[in-house]
Amino acid sequence: MRPTLWTRSTAIGAAVVALLLSSSLTVPSFAEAQVDSKAVAMAVPLTGVVHQEQEIGRKDFIISKTVVHASPQKVFDVVTDYPNAVRYFSNLTACEVLSEKNGVKNVRFNAKAAGLVKLDYVLAIDQSKPNRIEWTRVQGSFKANEGYWDLAAVDGGKSTLVTYAKHVDPGFFTPKMFVHKTLKDTAENIFRDLKRNVEPPQVAVDSSLKRILK
């Protein structure tokens, strides 16, 4: 059977992901985290996700990246639409903005993990920077819960390199491997939900993937 475009892209995408994970896409600090958006967008497969384990400020973060075929503004609008977040993201059961001051919103989330564990927490979410959203824990589940979204325009602004980074300290002993695996799975589920809500029903193979396949 002759391999199709999609089977070829899957195989090539897996190889590219392995290459990216072994490369040095370093993040200098939490406040100034940057990536080469063009290089990553060229390498990330059409529906793929790249994960990195990165220490930032002596804290272990899982930094996940994917390319979403929608503009940064459209992605931003969905990610920050807290009143409708339950419609967009399948892991959430409730979401409510409690207060807002100086561009920082305190938002309560009710979520489920692994379909069994119920989580209830409040995050202080800072949306003051363009195309960047940062959060820290205020109260509730976890001893620490912090991270950021970073939205970089690619393909002339038609697509977005989405970075989702998160550090969690459960507050009790949990093997690091388990925490990292859970964060990676969570990021992939969030990306899948995000794409379902912002991408066109039929996503064409973009120019970057075509260049990879040549």
pLDDT value for 11: 34
Q: Which residues are within 8 A (CB) of 39 and not within 5 positions of it... i.e. 6 or more apart?
A: none
pLDDT value for 205: 43
DSSP letter for each residue of 86-137: HHH-TTEEEEEEEEEETTEEEEEEEEEETTTEEEEEEEEEE--STTEEEEEE
* φ/ψ of residue 197, rounded to 5: -95, -15
Under the banding of pLDDT at 50, 70 and 90, the label for residue 6 is very low
Under the banding of pLDDT at 50, 70 and 90, the label for residue 174 is confident
CATH code of the domain covering residue 148: 3.30.530.20
Whether residue 183 contacts residue 66, with contact meaning beta carbons closer than 8 Å, is answered with no
Q: Is 106 exposed, middle or buried (0-12, 13-18, 19+ CB in 10 A)?
A: middle
- Of these ranges, 33-37, 108-112, 173-177, the one predicted with the greatest mean pLDDT is 108-112
Report how far apart, in Å, the C-alpha atoms of 134 and of each of 5, 68, 70, 155, 196 are. 38, 19, 21, 25, 23
Structure tokens at 40: 């990553």
Domain hosting 49: range is 5-213
pLDDT value for 5: 34
Total structural domains in the chain?
1
Mean pLDDT of all residues in 124-139: 94
pLDDT value for 117: 81
pLDDT at 27 over 70: no
- Identify the weakest region by mean pLDDT among 4-13, 27-36, 156-165, 166-175: 4-13
- Using one digit for the tens of pLDDT, what is the confidence trace for 95-130? 999 999 988 999 999 998 766 789 999 999 999 888
Lookup result for tokens 């309560």? 108
Q: For residues 53 and 2, which has the higher predicted lDDT (pLDDT)?
A: 53
Mean pLDDT across the chain: 79
- Using one digit for the tens of pLDDT, what is the confidence trace for 182-207? 999 999 999 999 999 999 876 644 44
